[in-house]
């Protein structure tokens, strides 16, 4: 069983990663790739169970198995990334059972190494693509240096789920159920696709939208808004919608900075994240968030935003 470290505090601008390895065979040599996934998305790490094959499934879907009454699909990460696996490697493969967007899915890795605690400020956005286009930056949420000057790549496992069609955001809602709100919203997310979903929803509500790609960018946008509106900022900026996982500064640290700044503390913050564990919801509240949503269900999004805004109006 995989145990999470619940000591990590909201606002610390740190994350914990499961460091795992994938080995690649090339020209008679074996190379080790170093990857990571957020601990908050990991339910447990297990030995390889007996899998049931799925006829007609993509080659990187190894099959399914029953985990305490829940059927889990299992993805071979090396195959998905078009990595040529060596015939043999030192240790038996493991399956990382993940949960995000309220979906359970298993990923086969060659070795699960350790848990690393890393500051988001040490994580850089992916700004590269591979020569063959297989592992481009859309598959990587960030990169960070570790010991011996090696580089760890943080994989965007959600993109696998999207490739499979397992997860589709619920963006449909009847227009007559959308109440109009005047004012501006600030949204933070390092994913342009996720920002567009939120932006489109807020525009339908009649709001103007300002976008930021991470917490640092978000703080800069707030300073610019304060220069423009001064002490009237809370009358104009009605709400902040923030992702949690972002390079440079994560959503929790951003929220704690906002709530400790007298200029902005009266502006409500709603977290909108793919992380769907209860501990992250608790951390969100500790950081000063008013609500925590799992990406992306339009009806739940509108309901929560309206509820938060109504609460602030009453106060």
Task: Evaluate if residue 9 carries a pLDDT over 70.
Answer: no
- The residue-averaged pLDDT of 151-160 equals 83
| Phi, psi for 248 (deg, rounded to 5) | 75, -60
User: What's the mean pLDDT when you consider all of the chain?
Assistant: 86
Find the range with the poorest average confidence among 28-42, 133-147, 151-165, 246-260.
133-147
Fold of 175-314: Rossmann fold (3.40.50)
Residue 258 pLDDT class (50, 70, 90 cuts):
very high
Residue 115 pLDDT class (50, 70, 90 cuts):
very high
Residue 132 pLDDT class (50, 70, 90 cuts):
very low
Select from 107, 128, 93 the least CA-distant residue to 44. 107
CA dist 315 and 309 (Å) reads 10
Q: Are 268 and 307 in contact (CB under 8 A)?
A: no
Q: Is 0.85 topped by the overall pTM?
A: no
Residue 114 pLDDT class (50, 70, 90 cuts):
very high
> Exposure string (b/e) for 282-314, b if CB count within 10 Å is 16 or more?
ebbeebbbbbbbbbbbbeebbebbeebbeeeee
pLDDT digits (tens, 9 = 90+) for 20-66: 999 998 888 888 999 999 998 999 999 999 999 999 888 889 999 99
Task: Evaluate if residue 210 carries a pLDDT over 90.
Answer: yes
14-164 carries CATH number 2.40.50.180? yes
Find the range with the poorest average confidence among 151-160, 246-255, 269-278.
151-160
Q: Give pLDDT, residue 88.
A: 72
Where along the chain do its domains lie? Answer: 14-164, 175-314
């Amino acid at each position: 069983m995989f145990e999470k470290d619940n000591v990590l505090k909201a606002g610390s601008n740190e994350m914990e990663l499961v460091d795992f390895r994938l080995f690649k065979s090339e020209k008679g040599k074996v190379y080790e790739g170093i990857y990571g996934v957020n601990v908050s998305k990991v339910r447990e790490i297990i030995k390889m169970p007996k899998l049931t094959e799925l006829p007609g499934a993509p080659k990187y879907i190894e099959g399914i198995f029953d985990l305490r009454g829940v059927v889990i699909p299992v993805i071979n990460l090396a195959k998905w990334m078009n990595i040529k696996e060596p015939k043999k490697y030192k240790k038996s493969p493991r399956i990382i059972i993940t949960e995000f967007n309220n979906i359970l899915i298993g990923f086969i890795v060659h070795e699960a190494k350790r848990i690393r605690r890393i500051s988001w400020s040490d994580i850089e956005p992916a700004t590269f693509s591979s020569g063959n286009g297989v592992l481009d930056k859309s598959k990587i949420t960030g990169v960070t240096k570790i010991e011996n000057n090696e580089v760890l790549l943080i994989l965007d496992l959600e993109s696998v789920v999207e490739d499979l069609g397992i997860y589709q955001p619920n963006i449909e809602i009847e227009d007559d159920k959308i109440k109009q709100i005047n004012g501006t919203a600030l949204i933070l997310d390092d994913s342009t696709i996720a920002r567009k979903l939120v932006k489109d929803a807020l525009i339908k509500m009649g709001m103007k939208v300002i976008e930021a790609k991470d917490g640092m960018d978000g703080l800069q946008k707030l300073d610019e808004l304060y220069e423009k509106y001064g002490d009237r900022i809370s009358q104009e900026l009605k709400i902040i919608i923030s992702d949690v996982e972002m390079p440079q500064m994560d959503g929790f640290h951003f929220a704690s900075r906002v709530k400790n700044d007298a200029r902005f503390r009266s502006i409500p913050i709603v977290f909108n994240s793919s992380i769907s564990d209860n501990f992250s919801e608790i951390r969100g509240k500790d950081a000063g968030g008013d609500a925590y949503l799992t990406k992306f269900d339009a009806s739940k999004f509108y309901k929560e935003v309206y509820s938060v805004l109504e609460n602030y109006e009453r106060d």
